Amino acid sequence: MSRRRFESMNCGVAQALEQVGDWWSLLVVRDAFFGATRFAQFEKSLGISKNILADRLHKLVEHGIFEKERLNEPGNRFDYRLTQKGRDLWLVLTAMRLWSDKWVFGREREPLVVRERDSGRRVAALLAVDEDGRPIDPGSLEFAPGPGASASAGPSRSRGAGR
At CA 15, angle to CA 151 and CA 103, rounded to 5?
A: 115
Q: Smaller CB distance to its own copies: residue 19 or 57?
A: 19
Q: Is 151 in the site for its own copies (CB under 8 A)?
A: no
d(CA 20, CA 60) in angstroms, rounded, equals: 7
- Residues in contact with its own copies, counted by CB under 8 A, come to a total of 97
Contact with its own copies (CB under 8 A) among 33, 43, 55, 76: 33
Task: Tell me if 74 contacts its own copies by CB under 8 A.
Answer: no
| Integer-rounded Cα radius of gyration of the chain | 19
DSSP single-letter state for residue 81: E
Residue list 106-145, contact with its own copies (CB under 8 A): 108-118, 121-131, 133-134, 136-138, 140-145
- Binding to its own copies in span 2-31, by CB under 8 A: 5-6, 10-17, 19, 22-24, 26-27, 30
CA 161 – CA 142 distance, rounded (Å): 8
